[in-house]
Chains A and B, each alone.
Chain A
Amino acid sequence: MEVTAQGMPYEAFKDNEYIESLVKELQENGTNVVVGSLDKLINWGRSNSLWPLTFATSCCGIEFVSLGAARYDMARFGWEVARSSPRQADFIMVAGTIVHRMAPVLRRLYDQMAEPKYVIATGACAISGGPFRDSYHVVKGVDQIIPVDVFLPGCPPRPEAMIYSIMQLSRKVKVERFFGGVNRQQKQQEFLREHPVEGVNDSAEFNTSAPEAPVTDKQ
């Protein structure tokens, strides 16, 4: 079962209990006792140890650094294990502008992450291109390249807002079904099919990219 932000009433964004109550309601309406309890246990663990990928292209990334320091201290929530390798990270916080040259790199980083994986689009730039929307070299929203789970507005968003966005993500993780029928994963497959990358076979187990041929004529 998936809860989408679209179905959420506006006031609920300020109400932290909303999703929890929603989850309860969903689970009360018939979950397999064994699988359901296992789900609950696993998701409890997963949602409390989300590991971010250290990924910052510009200004928003600096607020992410502040988030890691003593004042905002994301270690309180189990998110402090920022990984430099995408293969060890659970979610990617796209903090900063994504430009044309960076787009394939971001996509590759996303592809390298292990399932289940999540994306938070942090800041105006990642959502829509932000102040640079009219630029010739800026991607107008990372959702053109990778599927986004949480959009976090701001320029840059305050660290408190970042905490809130990751909390929203962990709520989202909580309502997923780990065993079978994860709607989200199907959606992800759909998205990847719709946004093919040359030389990358999304359905294959290993991604292989075509070797780069040396170029001699550079005009």
Chain B
Amino acid sequence: MATLNEIIAKICPAATVAEVDGAPMISVDDAHWHELAKALRHDANLEMDYLVTIAGFDHVESMGCVYYMMSTRHNTNLGVTVLATGDRERPVLHSVSDIWAVAGLYEREVYDFFGIIFLNNPDMRRLFLSIDWKGYPLRKDYDASPNINPVPRDNERQSDFTTKWTKDAEGNLVSEQVEVFAPDDFVVNIGPQHPATHGVLRFRTAVDGETIKKIDVYMGYIHRGIEKLNEQQTYAQSLPFLDRMDYFSALNYHHGVCMVYERAAGIEVPRRAQVIRVMMDELSRIASHCLFMGTFCMDLGATSMLFYTLRVREQILDILERTCGARMSFNYDCIGGVMQDLDANFQNDVKALLKVLPANIKEYKKVFVGNVIARNRMEGVGVLSREDAISYGVTGPSGRASGWACDVRKWRPYSIYSDLDFDEVVLTEGDSMARFKVRLAEIEQSARILEQLVDNIPEGDIQAKVPKVLKLPAGQWFQIVEGCRGVFGIHLESDGGTKPARLKYATPSMPAAGVVDHLTRGEKIADLITIGGSLDYIVPDMDR
């Protein structure tokens, strides 16, 4: 931390450092922010190379952003709070999209939600909402009246231009219209209704013959405004929405958010509940990876894989259903523990699953990994380097396929993961095949975890005593957990009431979609399907 203070003293002596939730939180003014960000990123002793998320906030009297970043080398993290300058009409911040590649996308999200303009961001468009949307929904004074923004009846108005904001010599804001594609580009529209985009994502693709020149990703076709909804609900009521973001990581996401609430309220979770939670996490990880393999192979034309992998998934869903009562929207983890106790047959069911898994994995390898067609389509396609994976914030199995050991369960162990014996699967090829293989190998590791726990579920309570309506002290918390697709971050801001003042979810799918353009440039259009599929993004997870 000595270096941190030195850097701050050198660049911006006025900045303050406080300790928030166990990590330094720097408050800096916008004028020095860009320079500070550069130093944080490049200083050898800090090297904050992974930008986890940018969470905008509106405190009515001020607006701004909290930036969370981590260093992959030093395994440290810190936050930076920057207040926007200018009035509510046009709040302004400096962009850091030149320092972290993923920042450009996050800044667009903040602009969409809060109307904060980022200077020098080359692409300052709305992200989820249409260009005709009135108002910025996450502002506290937003008017949600349906008369202002009615359900559109006609086709969305679209623009081929984006805006870049800069300051001129006198310090005035100037905007400049930039064309997204070159004037003679041939642009093909893929999505939002396209079976290979895995949901409703849209790629505007500039092609030269069969070669992709540029992809403009359009999101928001399933933007449901969960973060805003959460602000109107109590803490316990915010949980069911997590089942519906990344519906394959429902249990993992619940786990993370419950952990934040428990940490903030000082609740100790009984050991039995912790073990159950981890087992459920790993079960859903296996189910999620199975579905990934099935749909991915189907995209590549191997329909039979879907049937093989869903066989295992159905078996897991049965186990989960017997305990949680649902096949998909479980709502199982609750604040202080889990909702209900395990089904009487749970242990036997898990053992039965563990027994059939190895044969299934062998089959998958035989049918697909060794298949010459699959290998030709996947090997060397969409290679993502480790530096780019970090800069674009591509975490989870996709990040690990590029050689970045980013498994939160190992990196920042939470719950009981530090007591468990399992390996982090890291490959270095970075291509689509590696992303596939990592997931296949992770199923084996998850099975290992289950094996260790299935006979060691301690007796005891499944829930700590928690007040019916939870009240959290005022403050800020940040937590990351490992979802099935990567780092899931939760930024919680409480004003001391029964509802969150701001709850921001940093999901792994959004950076995964953000990197598509970078990965597909120069590739063939058929490879877009392979690359998009291998990144395994879930569209409701990125749109929220």
How does the 8 Å CB contact mask read for B291-304 relative to A, with 1 for contact and 0 for none?
A: 10011000000000
The reply to whether B200 and A69 contact each other, CB–CB distance below 8 Å, is no
User: Does B91 interact with chain A (Cβ within 8 Å)?
Assistant: no
Cross-chain contact of B157 among A107, A132, A145, A215 (Cβ < 8 A):
A215
Kindly state the separation between the CA atoms of A71 and B311 in the bound complex, as whole angstroms. Answer: 8
Given known pairs A58-B244, A69-B310, the reply for A144 and B151 (CB within 8 Å) is: yes
Q: Are A218 and B130 in contact, CB atoms less than 8 angstroms apart?
A: no
Question: Are the C-beta atoms of B240 and A131 separated by less than 8 Å?
Answer: yes
Rounded to whole Å, the gap between the CB of A138 and the closest CB of chain B is 6
B114-129 vs A: 1/0 string, CB under 8 Å?
Answer: 0000000000010011
User: Nearest Cβ in chain A — how far from B236, in angstroms?
Assistant: 14
A65 at the interface (CB under 8 A from B): yes
Q: A31 at interface (Cβ–Cβ under 8 A)?
A: no
B residues 214-260 near A (Cβ < 8 Å) are: 220-226, 228-229, 232, 240-241, 243-244, 247-248
- Residues of chain A within 8 A (CB-CB) of B329 are 59, 155-156
Q: Which of A185-219 contact B (CB under 8 A)?
A: 195-199, 209, 212, 214-216, 218
Does B152 have its Cβ within 8 Å of any Cβ on chain A?
yes
Q: Is the CB of A102 within 8 A of B200?
A: yes
Interface size on A, residues (CB 8 A): 53
- Whether B193 sits at the interface, judged by CB under 8 Å, is yes
Question: Shortest Cβ distance from A80 into chain B, in angstroms?
Answer: 11
Is A40 among interface residues, defined by CB-CB distance under 8 A?
Answer: no
A101 with B151: in contact, given A70-B311, A138-B225, A218-B159 (CB under 8 Å)?
Answer: no
* B353 in contact (CB, < 8 A): no
B497 at the interface (CB under 8 A from A): no
Cβ A136 vs Cβ B200 within 8 A: no
Contacts of A47 in B (CB 8 A): none
Which chain A residue has the least Cβ–Cβ distance from B162? A218
Task: Point out the residue from A71, A108, A132, A214 that lies within 8 Å of B229, measured CB to CB.
Answer: A132
Partner of A66, one of B153, B156, B314: B314
Please give me the residue from chain B that is nearest to A56 by CB atom: B199
Which of A96, A108, A145 is packed against the most chain B CB atoms within 10 Å?
A96
Interface residue A87 (Cβ < 8 Å from any Cβ of B): no
Q: Collect the chain B residues with CB atoms within 8 Å of residue A84's CB.
A: 194-195
Binary per-residue interface labels of chain A (78-119) against chain B in the complex, 1 for a CB within 8 Å, 0 otherwise = 000000101000000000110111111101110000000000
B192 part of interface (Cβ distance < 8 Å): yes
Bound CA–CA A99/B226 (angstroms): 12
A145 to B161, CA, bound (A): 30
When A58-B244, A69-B307, A158-B327 are in contact, do A197 and B154 touch as well, CB less than 8 Å? yes
**In the complex, which residue of chain B has the Cβ closest to the Cβ of A72?**
B314
Closest-CB distance, A26 to chain B (whole angstroms): 37
In contact, B222 and A58 (Cβ under 8 angstroms): yes
Residue B396 lies at the interface, judged by CB distance under 8 Å to chain A: no
For B159, list chain A residues within 8 Å (CB).
214-216, 218
What residue in chain A is nearest B244 (Cβ atoms)? A59
Provide the residues of chain A in CB contact with B137, threshold 8 Å. 136-137
Q: Does A121 contact B (CB under 8 A)?
A: no
Which B residues touch A137, using CB under 8 A? 128-129, 137, 223-225
Q: Are B149 and A199 in contact (CB-based, < 8 A)?
A: no
Quick check: B240 and A101 within 8 Å, CB to CB?
Answer: no
**Is B147 close to A, CB under 8 A?**
no
Q: With a CB–CB cut-off of 8 A, which chain A residues contact B306? A: 65, 68-69
Residue of B nearest to A130 (CB): B244
Confirm or deny: A51 has a beta carbon within 8 angstroms of a beta carbon on chain B. no
Name B243's closest neighbour in chain A (CB-CB).
A59
Asked if A215 and B222 sit within 8 Å, CB to CB, the answer is no
B297 to chain A, nearest CB (A): 13
Residues of B within 8 A of A65 (CB): 291, 295, 306, 310
Quick check: B153 and A197 within 8 Å, CB to CB?
yes
Q: How far is A107 from B192 in the complex, measured between Cα atoms in Å?
A: 13
Q: Are A195 and B200 in contact (CB under 8 A)?
A: no
Cα(A190)–Cα(B156), bound, Å: 24
Contacts of A68 in B (CB 8 A): 306
Q: A104 — nearest CB in chain B belongs to which residue?
A: B155
**B158 A100 Cβ-Cβ under 8 A:** no
B228 and A136 form a contact (CB under 8 A): yes
**Cβ contacts under 8 Å, A97 to chain B:** 222, 224, 540
| Least Cβ–Cβ distance between B324 and chain A, in angstroms | 14
Q: Which residues does chain A contribute within 8 Å of B311, judged by CB atoms?
A: 69-71
| The 4 A-B residue pairs with the shortest CB-CB distance in the complex, in nearest-first order | A198-B154, A135-B225, A69-B310, A215-B159
Chain B residues proximal to chain A, CB less than 8 Å = 125, 128-131, 137, 142, 144, 149, 151-163, 177, 192-195, 199-200, 220-226, 228-229, 232, 240-241, 243-244, 247-248, 291, 294-295, 306-307, 310-311, 314, 327-329, 539-540
Q: What are 23 A-B interface contacts by the 8 Å CB criterion?
A: A57-B221, A57-B222, A58-B539, A59-B328, A66-B314, A71-B314, A100-B149, A100-B151, A101-B129, A101-B156, A103-B152, A108-B155, A109-B193, A132-B229, A134-B229, A136-B144, A137-B129, A156-B328, A196-B153, A214-B161, A215-B157, A218-B125, A218-B131
A residues with CB within 8 A of B: 54-59, 61-63, 65-66, 68-71, 84, 86, 96-97, 99-105, 107-109, 131-132, 134-139, 144-145, 155-156, 158, 195-199, 209, 212, 214-216, 218
